[in-house]
Structure 1
Amino acid sequence: MRKIVSNALLFATLSIILVGCGAGSPPSSYYILTSSNQQTSQVQPLNNISVGVGPVLVPGHLDRSQIVTSTGKNSITIHEYQRWGDSFKTQVEETLAENISILLQTPKVAIYPWERAQRPEYQVYVTIRRFEGKTGMNVTLDAIWQIVRVDTDNSLLTRHFVETFPVAENNISSYVQTQSNALGTLSQEIAKGLHSVVAQ
């Protein structure tokens, strides 16, 4: 009888601990990168070509569900309860593609991998080497991008983009918006690069 009572007491204690742990966990917040709809006047239309965006490579420590910020030269913070609403890599690809489509005023922008019927004339490869910073301070985007002619597989243009963007407020929402703005600036550079290769 005493053993039964002890087991029941142990079970009740464990239940209280588990409930307490669950009650103490804050709810997760989810964020997405967004395109920049106010860029159309900065680049001339180029709606007679088709463009493919990707593959886009991102550092492994950033390609996770949690948002990552830096705390020092060799240290990062993984925010357990501030998460991406979708794959970080997928969001970067989609944001770049949408920005380029807006800038060039063309719907003919596909995301890698594409169907055979969507095979573009030009393909943009992007390797992101760094894309983080500190909330309330700044975000650095360091990327190498390349434009390739798809039918010949010839590399037409390769550029290194690196720029630091100030974060307006000390919160994750402002941090994510700054990352979106950084991708917007990178998209402008890629759009200008497409103009350059088409003119050649």
Structure 2
Amino acid sequence: MAELMMLSRRAALGALLAGTALAACSSPPPKVYTLTTVPGAAAGGRPVTASVALVDIPKYLDRPQIVRRSGAVQLGVDEFERWGEPLANMVQRVLADDLATRLPSGSVVTTSRTLSGDEALTVELALNRFDPDADGTVVLEAQWRLRRKSGGRARTETARITRRPADDSVTAEVRAMSDALGELADRIAGSIR
């Protein structure tokens, strides 16, 4: 009987320790981030209708986690710092909103998911890079093409934009990414006018 009680106490102690270990291993809830529209100077002139086509991003960025470079050849991800939507879709949506604030009043900019077929031009965007360096500096390398419905030659341009976050937080990093995308919208809007 004493042996049975001893085994029972050991089992209870084992269960308590296992429960404590599981509680210690529980993960914090993920933090979810989104890029935001950055105000820009609106241009004068005739209104423009445009659409932002699907955005092409490198496969290493095509994941829910925010990717950072931790060295020349090493990438880092934190399982609990995530994007609120796929990065390509978010860039497409925010770029369309950024362009709408920069083009002449009355302009309409949509994403390819809301195409009416009447847009005067389409912006095609390929991001070669959109992530922070090991020192935290956000690097956006992009190539874009404007296709006009009226025909004519499509023009392709490139940009390399860097932004230093205000501090080391992920929030500041995402704000710097939004600022970089806003600067890209400035350049694209300038090439549309």
TM-score by length of 1: 0.81
What are the equivalent positions in structure 2 for 1:32-71 lying under 5 Å apart? 32-37=34-39, 39-41=40-42, 44-71=43-70
**1:82 aligned residue:** 81
* Count of residues in correspondence between the two structures: 187
SS in 2 for 1:113: helix
What are the equivalent positions in structure 2 for 1:1-200 lying under 5 Å apart? 14-22=18-26, 25-37=27-39, 39-41=40-42, 44-104=43-103, 105-115=105-115, 117-134=116-133, 137-150=136-149, 152=151, 154-195=152-193
Distance 1:95 1:62 in 2: 17
**1:198 aligned residue:** none
| 1:103 Cα offset (Å) | 0.3
Quote the sequence identity (%): 25
| 1:64 Cα offset (Å) | 1.6
Distance 1:63 1:90 in 2: 10
Q: Is the 8 A contact 1:51 1:109 kept in 2?
A: yes
Q: Is the 8 A contact 1:157 1:193 kept in 2?
A: no
Q: Is the 8 A contact 2:71 2:134 kept in 1?
A: no
Distance 1:170 1:78 in 2: 15
Distance 2:83 2:150 in 1: 36
TM-score by length of 2: 0.84
Structure 1 residue ranges without an equivalent (≥5): 196-200
Larger Rg: 2
Structure 2 residue ranges without an equivalent (≥5): none
Distance 1:98 1:47 in 2: 18
| 1:20 Cα offset (Å) | 3.0
